[in-house]
Chains A and B, each alone.
Chain A
Amino acid sequence: MGYAIHNISEGFWIAFRALFANKTRALLTTLGISIGVITVTLMMMIIQGLNTSVASQLEVMGSGTVYIERHPWIIMDDWWRYRNRPRVTKEQFEEIKRFSKLAEYVGAYTYTGRPIAFRNRTRDRVGIIGVTPATADAMSWMPEYGRYITDSDMITTRKICVIGADVKEQIFEPYDPMGRNLRVGPYNFKVVGILEKKGSTFGQSNDNYVMIPFSTLTHNFGHRRDVTIAVKAKDPSQMNDLIDELTWLMRRARNLAPNEDNDFSINDSAMLTDFYKRITAGIYAAGVIIGGISLLVGGIGIMNIMLVSVTERTWEIGMRKAVGARTTSILWQFLVESMIITMIGGIVGILVAMIGGKLLGQFLPTSLPLWLGLSAMAFSAVVGLIFGLFPAVRASRLDPIVALRQE
C-alpha cells in the first residue's frame, strides 16, 4: 500500500518531467478531451440553469393552481384542432366561482398591451392585466405595498392600478409611486399598490406589468378578449379531483353533449414540468452523445500518443527497469502521465465552458455548481486511466534487455 502511494506520487513527478519535455504534444493531445469536457459541461450548465429558471417560473405560476384557458400551453399534436374553440368568458368565470366546491380561490384575468407614461418617462408597450380580487390569492401574486383590486373597484370600474417592481423602478424612480397617476393609453390610473418582485425567467422579467380591475379593462379597452380563470385548490393533493370538477362545470356552462370533446383546456404547472423534462432529456441525450464521442476520440488520441511515447522511450523504460523499477512502477508512471494529460484537458475544458457559459448567459440561464466541475475532473481522470491502460501495460511488460538494446 505504501509502495503504491510512493509509486503514484513519484509517477506524478516523473510524468510531469516527461510532459514538460513535450509541451506542444501534450497540449495538442488534450484538445480532444477538452472538447468533450466543454460539451458535456456546457450542456450540464444549461440544464442546471434551466432547472433554476423553471423552478422560479413554476413559483410564479403558483403551486396548486390550474388555469382554464382556450388553448393548452403546450400543443404536441395538430394545432388546427384547437383553432375554432370559443373564448373563455367572464360568465363562465362567474359560474365556476359560484359552483366549485374544491376551489379555494377563483380569479379571472385578461390581458392587453398599452403604452404607459409618468411625466416625461414612457414605455411603448407594457402588459396591462385586468384582474378580479381573488386573482392575487389564486395565483399567489400579492401586492407588497398598498392594496390589491377590490370588489368596489370592480363595480365602479375605477381607474386604479397595482404596478410591478419594474414599472416602479423604470417609470417612477426616484418618486414614490403610491397615489400618483400612471398614464395607461389615454387614461390616468392612480397607483394603489406595488406587487412583490418575482424576478425573471428565461431572461424575461415577471415584474413589467400593470394590474387594473378586470371590469375597468373590458370597459375601457374592449371586452372581446380571452379570459383566463385561475383556480387554486383547497387541497393541493386533490388536483385531479379539482380538474374533474372544473371540467364538468365548464362542460355544463357550455352545454356540451356527452359525445362532444372538451373545447377548453385546463392547464397546470405539471404540464410544464412534463414538457420541461422531455426537453432536458433531449439535451442530456445530445450532450452525452456528443460529449461521449469527443471523449472517445480524445481518449483514442491519448492512447495513440502514449503508445508513441512508450515506443520512443523504450530505452528509458529499459534503463529504469535495469536500475530496479518494478512492473507496477512503470505501469503507474505511464498511467499517471496519461491521467495528467486528460486532467489538463479537463481543466482547460472547464475554463472554456465557464467562459462559454458567461457568453451564453445572455440568452440562456447557466450555472456551474462545484460538483459539476469536480465530476468533470474526475471523468477526465477516468478517461486518462482507461485509455492510458493499454500503453502503460505495454510499457510495464517490456523486457529490460530488449528495451535497453533499442537505443
Chain B
Amino acid sequence: MSSLIDFKSISKIYEIGKIKVPALIEVDVNIEDGEYVAIMGPSGSGKSTMMNIVGCLDAPSDGVYKLSGERVDGMTDNQLADIRNRRIGFIFQTFNLLPRADAFHNVELPLIYAGLPRIKRREMAKEALERVGLADRIKHRPNELSGGQRQRVAVARALVNNPNLLLADEPTGNLDSKTSYEMMELFGNLHSEGNTIVIVTHEEDIAAYSHRVIRLFDGKISSDVRQEPRNGSNGKFAGKPEE
C-alpha cells in the first residue's frame, strides 16, 4: 500500500532574475493515511513551500510527488482543481475568508465548485459549521466574529467536502494562546475522526499535539521524529499542555 503523501527528491527553486533561491532541496518524505504531522523550522526554511506543493497549489521544480500513489505532475489544471476541491482542505494563517459573505457562504464555496445543488450545500455547510462549534454563527460575517471563530469558519470550509487530508499553514499564527489551544483541541478531534493532518507551526507547544515532527532547515529535512502526543488526539483532551 502506497503512502498518502510521497515526496521523492522534491526540489523547489525560485528564480528572481538571475538569482536562484533554493527553497526545498531534494526532499524525501512519506506521510501515511491517518498521520498527524507538524512541520517546523526557522523562517525561510521552506515550510510553506512544502505545504503548497503537498496541497497541489504549487508544482515542484524537480522530483516526483505522488498523492495516494498518483503522480501529480502531468495532471491537468482541472484535475488539480478537483483534487484541491475533494481531497484536500487548506487552512491559511490569515483565514482567507470573503469579508462580505457570511459564514455559511464562505463554508459553502468548495461545494459550489464541486457542482452540488443548493439544498445539499446548505445541509453540508451547516453540518461542517456544527462540527467546529459554530452552529449559531451561520449568518455572521467575518468582521462579526472573533479571530478564533474566523479560523473555525476556515476549518469548516476545509472540512466541508470531507477531504482526507487537512493542511494548515500556521493556523494559530494569528491567534492568542487560549484560542490556539482550543484550535488544537479541534484538530485533535478531527484527527481522531480519521483525518490526516499536516500542520506548519513555529511553536513547540503546538507541534507537541502532533504524532510526528518534521524539522526543515535551509530547504532540507534536518530531523523527522515520531512522538507521543501531549493530549488526547485519541479522544482524551488534556486542555493546556503541561509545562
Seen from chain A, the residues whose Cβ lies within 8 Å of a Cβ on chain B are: 2-3, 6, 10, 17, 21, 315-316, 319-327, 329, 400-401, 404, 407
Q: A17 contacts B85, CB within 8 Å?
A: no
- Known contacts A320-B113, A323-B85, A404-B96, then 17 further A-B pairs from the complex at CB < 8 Å, ordered by chain A residue: A6-B115, A21-B100, A315-B96, A319-B92, A319-B96, A323-B110, A323-B113, A324-B81, A324-B82, A324-B84, A324-B110, A324-B114, A324-B161, A325-B85, A327-B78, A404-B57, A407-B94
Bound-state Cα–Cα, A322 to B92, Å: 10
Which residues B36-83 have CB closer than 8 A to chain A? 52, 55, 57-58, 77-78, 81-82
CB distance from B225 to the nearest CB of A (A): 29
Residues of A within 8 A of B100 (CB): 17, 21
Asked if B157 lies at the interface with its beta carbon under 8 angstroms from chain A, I say yes
Q: A321 contacts B109, CB within 8 Å?
A: no
Query: Knowing A315-B96, A322-B55 touch, does A327 contact B81 (C-beta < 8 A)?
Result: yes
Q: B81 contacts A321, CB within 8 Å?
A: yes
Q: B85 contacts A324, CB within 8 Å?
A: yes
Query: Which single residue of chain B is at the shortest CB-CB distance from A2?
Result: B115
Residues of A within 8 A of B98 (CB): 316, 319
| Among candidates A10, A17, A401, residue contacting B58 with C-beta atoms closer than 8 Å | A401
Interchain Cβ contacts under 8 Å between A and B, 7 examples:
A2-B115, A17-B101, A319-B98, A324-B81, A324-B114, A326-B81, A329-B113
CB distance from A34 to the nearest CB of B (A): 26
Residues of A within 8 A of B84 (CB): 321-324, 400
| Among candidates A6, A21, A322, A329, residue contacting B90 with C-beta atoms closer than 8 Å | A322
Residues of A within 8 A of B81 (CB): 321, 324-327
Bound-state Cα–Cα, A319 to B94, Å: 11
CB distance from A11 to the nearest CB of B (A): 10
Bound-state Cα–Cα, A327 to B82, Å: 11
Residues of A within 8 A of B215 (CB): none
Residues of B within 8 A of A324 (CB): 81-82, 84-86, 110, 113-114, 161
Q: A326 contacts B77, CB within 8 Å?
A: yes
Which residues B108-152 have CB closer than 8 A to chain A? 109-110, 112-115
Query: Which single residue of chain B is at the shortest CB-CB distance from A400?
Result: B57
Bound-state Cα–Cα, A401 to B77, Å: 13
Q: A3 contacts B115, CB within 8 Å?
A: yes
Residues of B within 8 A of A6 (CB): 115
CB distance from A372 to the nearest CB of B (A): 36
Query: Which single residue of chain B is at the shortest CB-CB distance from A20?
Result: B100
Bound-state Cα–Cα, A6 to B117, Å: 9
Query: Which single residue of chain A is at the shortest CB-CB distance from B52?
Result: A401
Query: Which single residue of chain B is at the shortest CB-CB distance from A403?
Result: B57
Residues of B within 8 A of A326 (CB): 77-78, 81-82, 113
Bound-state Cα–Cα, A316 to B113, Å: 14
Residues of A within 8 A of B90 (CB): 322-323
Bound-state Cα–Cα, A306 to B206, Å: 42
| Among candidates B92, B113, B157, residue contacting A325 with C-beta atoms closer than 8 Å | B113
CB distance from A252 to the nearest CB of B (A): 86
Closest 7 CB pairs of A and B: A324-B85, A324-B113, A323-B110, A326-B81, A401-B58, A319-B96, A401-B57
- Which residue among A10, A324, A400 has the maximum number of chain B CB atoms within 10 Å of its CB? A324
Bound-state Cα–Cα, A326 to B109, Å: 12
Residues of A within 8 A of B57 (CB): 321-322, 400-401, 404
- Which residue among A2, A3, A400 has the maximum number of chain B CB atoms within 10 Å of its CB? A400
Residues of B within 8 A of A325 (CB): 81, 85, 113
Query: Which single residue of chain B is at the shortest CB-CB distance from A319?
Result: B96
Bound-state Cα–Cα, A284 to B5, Å: 66
Q: B101 contacts A323, CB within 8 Å?
A: no
CB distance from A99 to the nearest CB of B (A): 84
Residues of B within 8 A of A321 (CB): 57, 81, 84
Residues of A within 8 A of B112 (CB): 10
Bound-state Cα–Cα, A320 to B101, Å: 13
Residues of A within 8 A of B92 (CB): 319, 404
Residues of A within 8 A of B101 (CB): 17
Query: Which single residue of chain B is at the shortest CB-CB distance from A6?
Result: B115
Residues of A within 8 A of B161 (CB): 324
Q: B115 contacts A323, CB within 8 Å?
A: no
Residues of B within 8 A of A315 (CB): 96
Residues of A within 8 A of B96 (CB): 315, 319, 322, 404
- Which residue among B57, B84, B96, B113 has the maximum number of chain A CB atoms within 10 Å of its CB? B113
Bound-state Cα–Cα, A326 to B90, Å: 16
Q: Mark B204-224, 1 if CB is under 8 A from A, else 0.
A: 000000000000000000000
CB distance from B84 to the nearest CB of A (A): 5
CB distance from B96 to the nearest CB of A (A): 5
Bound-state Cα–Cα, A404 to B114, Å: 21
| Among candidates B52, B86, B109, residue contacting A320 with C-beta atoms closer than 8 Å | B109
Query: Which single residue of chain B is at the shortest CB-CB distance from A21?
Result: B100
Residues of B within 8 A of A323 (CB): 84-85, 90, 109-110, 113, 157
